[in-house]
Chain A
Amino acid sequence: MDIALIGRIIPVFVQAAWTTVQISLLSLVLGLAVAALIAGLRLSHLAVLRFIGAAYVSVFRGTPALLQIFLLYFGGPQLGIQLEPFAAGAIALGLNIGAYMAESIRGGVLSVDRGQMEAARSLGFGEGQSMRWIVLPQAAKLMIRPLGVNAVALVKGTALVATISVVELTYTAQRFIGSTYKPFEIFAVTAVLYMIMVYGLTLVIDRLDRAYAEEA
């Protein structure tokens, strides 16, 4: 182990990890927005809307995230969509994780006993009101863990944007493995930074889940 090298490269890698955090947060926010919309479509009364929602989920979950990134970044200009690597990566990852998160949200809503909706309706709540005030608060608790699993997968998935030269953690690791010929030192530093993010996030999700469980 070349400790001196590790000391020298840490600042650069922390900087790169910050980019990983930024892209994770951006695509997480976008993904949650997409997921709420798609889950809404999938739970709709209209067959057309349900079909659109199901098609979105099927297409985005049925094809590799890597190709979704390439289609937007390399293929986008053919459709008049010209994006910087960072933006293209964040948007593609957000659209991708949105499909998975939509299923987590839908699963949560469907796990709430039907009787809850029926009772609320019979007490004079409207459809939307029942959803907003009775079903969703109960579903939210059930969504935390599956959404957390999605978020953890997203953090690791951000490595894919290295392929369109976003200077994040994996891209930086590849460059330094090539220039220093010290693969294990580089891997150690990179792995520690990823694991702080991944297991840190896991810890936060556990806390949230437990806090909600106690409330119930």
Chain B
Amino acid sequence: MQGLDFSIVPEYLPLIGKGLWWTVVISVISALFSIVAGMGFALIVLYASPVVRYPVRLFMWLFMGTPLLLQLFLIYFGLVQIGIDIPALWSGIIGLSLHFAVYNADIFRAGIASLDKGQTEAARSLGFGAWQTRLYIVVPQALRNTVPAVGNMMIALLKESSIVSMIGIAELVHSAQLVISETYRPFEFYLTAAALYYVLNLILEAVLRGIERKVELSR
């Protein structure tokens, strides 16, 4: 039994900090992508022609039924074998984005379906085209009504971004692993990383509460 010694942690904080920065960057980019792509999928599933709709539904069904880690392995280790070489960082961002886009799409689809039909009818009678109505009337309201549910997804995304360390992206967990391979102190540094995620999570929750309050006020 080795015991614990946290006194060596401060020395490595700059390195860990770099990982923390990348966790924030990857999470923010993936969150934005997952929301945009999620809305795209939702609109396709609801309104597009069957030729587009069914492949997208099949894709959503596949990605909802399988783990993120497997999807990352497919994108990073798999695609390169058929000649599609995506760098680790982008593989991670694409995997995270698509994984959560599928869940967001489900939320948006339900959000759009629960909107009052009168909204669409009113817009159409005022001379809006079908897609104009969807983009300017339906999408903004659906986005607003689904803030809490999508927010929960983003909280999950932040934590699951840790999984991209497994394809070698130098984010928080990966930088902790680097330090551990030098110091042989897994408990201290994994705990440090966990504490940093906890703080990030608190910040994200506060931001989401702020957004929710703003959205409530705009009603």
Contact = CB atoms under 8 A, between A and B. Distances in A.
Q: Which bracket fits the contact residues of B?
A: 35 or more
B16 to A, nearest CB: 13
Nearest to A183: B78
Nearest to B62: A191
B194 A67 contact: yes
Contacts of A186: 78
A169 B69 CA distance: 11
Contact of B162 (A59, A66, A74, A78): A66
A67 B67 contact: no
B81 interface: yes
A78 B4 contact: yes
A195 B193 CA distance: 32
B123 interface: no
Contacts of B74: 177, 183, 187
B4 A177 contact: no
B1 interface: yes
Interface in B46-85: 61-62, 64-70, 73-74, 77-79, 81-82
Contact of B190 (A75, A170, A191, A198): A75
Contacts of B79: 183
B198 A62 contact: yes
B129 interface: no
Interface string B160-176: 10110110000001000
A85 B194 CA distance: 20
A191 B69 contact: no
B218 interface: no
Among A63, A65, A159, A199, max chain B CB count under 10 A is at: A63
Given A64-B159, A65-B159, A159 B68 contact: yes
Given A183-B81, A184-B78, A170 B67 contact: yes
A200 B74 CA distance: 24
B contacts with A: majority SS: helix
B29 interface: no
Contact of A63 (B62, B64, B65, B198): B198
A15 interface: no
A65 B64 CA distance: 19
Contacts of A170: 67, 69-70, 73
A187 B82 CA distance: 14
B186 interface: yes
B2 interface: yes
A116 B21 CA distance: 51
Contact of B81 (A63, A163, A181, A199): A181
Nearest to B61: A195
B76 to A, nearest CB: 10
Contacts of B187: 71, 74-76, 78-79
B191 interface: yes
Contacts of A158: 67
21 contacts: A63-B194, A63-B198, A64-B194, A64-B197, A66-B163, A66-B165, A67-B190, A68-B194, A75-B188, A78-B3, A78-B187, A156-B67, A157-B67, A158-B67, A160-B67, A177-B74, A183-B78, A183-B79, A190-B70, A191-B62, A191-B65
Given A76-B187, A79-B187, A160-B163, 17 more contacts: A62-B198, A67-B193, A70-B173, A74-B190, A77-B1, A78-B186, A78-B187, A159-B70, A169-B70, A174-B77, A177-B81, A181-B81, A184-B78, A190-B70, A191-B65, A194-B66, A195-B65
